Amino acid sequence: MSAAFYNTTDRNNEANPRNTCLQELWDKIDVDQLKKQYNVLSAFKNGPRHWTMDWIKNVRVT
């Protein structure tokens, strides 16, 4: 089984980078269309969310 996820970090709003999930863009997302487009069993909108990192580590996977 596999899954993919996408987020809007550092996207969509040059005027206010802290608001990267504009409501008008969020409202346009059609979950049924996404399921058809990517040929998947399920898709859902989970957000918008606000978050911050406590830390980040670069891990090299070989």
> What does the pLDDT look like over 28-46, one tens digit per residue?
999 999 999 999 999 988 8
pLDDT in tens, 13-32: 788 777 777 788 889 999 99
Structural domain spans, the chain: 1-62
Closest by alpha carbon to 18, among 28, 9, 5? Answer: 9
> Which residues, including other chains, have CB under 8 Å from residue 19's CB and lie 6 or more apart?
13
| Contact criterion met (CB below 8 Å) for 19 and 13 | yes
pTM of the model as a whole = 0.56
Closest by alpha carbon to 53, among 7, 5, 4? Answer: 7
> Which residues, including other chains, have CB under 8 Å from residue 41's CB and lie 6 or more apart?
35
